[in-house]
Structures are given as structure tokens and as C-alpha cells.
Amino acid sequence: MANSKESLSSSFLKVAKLLELSVTDNESLEVRISLVKNWFHNATKRWLMVFDNADDENVYDFMRNSYPSAGDGDIILTTRDAIAYHKMS
């Protein structure tokens, strides 16, 4: 979920725990993003990262910084904001 900074942080915590990464409930969003991003970057299988309900411009920078720079996967962003793509660039 990417409809707010809080939901994005919660989602990254859930993903980190599902991937069995070393993360605590007290970690910052930036740390959570870094851990998950590194996992996707080094993954040996295809992956899919989905940002659902990305309607709040305040989370765009966090989302942009979470994109793995390498790896074999895809990213989907869903939003009701017709020009979100241009705002994220």
C-alpha cells in the first residue's frame, strides 16, 4: 500500500519480515526500503513490486528511492492521479 508514508512504511515492514530480513518494528522507512531494495536487487528469481493507491505526492520520493537499480523484475504503480508518472520523474 502506498497511499501514505505510514502505509508504505508498514508495507515495507511486512515485506521485509516475509523475506526474513533482519528488521525491527522501530526501523525507519529508509532502512526498511534499503533492506527490501537490496533483496530485490540481488534476487535470483523474477520479482514483482507493486505500489498500490499511490495518490499522495508526499510518498513519491520514497517510492522512487525504493526501485532496485538491478534485478530481474517489474514495478507496477496504481494511482488515481492521471499525471503521477510525470510527478515521479
Domain boundaries, the chain: 5-88
pLDDT for residue 35: 93
Helix (H) or strand (E) holding 43: none
pLDDT category at 66 given cuts 50, 70, 90 is confident
36 burial level (CB within 10 Å; 0-12, 13-18, 19+): buried
Helix (H) or strand (E) holding 2: none
pTM check: above 0.75? yes
Residue pLDDT, tens place only, 19-45: 999 988 888 888 999 999 999 989 999
Report CA 35 to chain centroid distance, whole Å.
11
Cβ neighbors of 88 (< 8 A, separation 6 or more) are: 60, 63, 64, 77
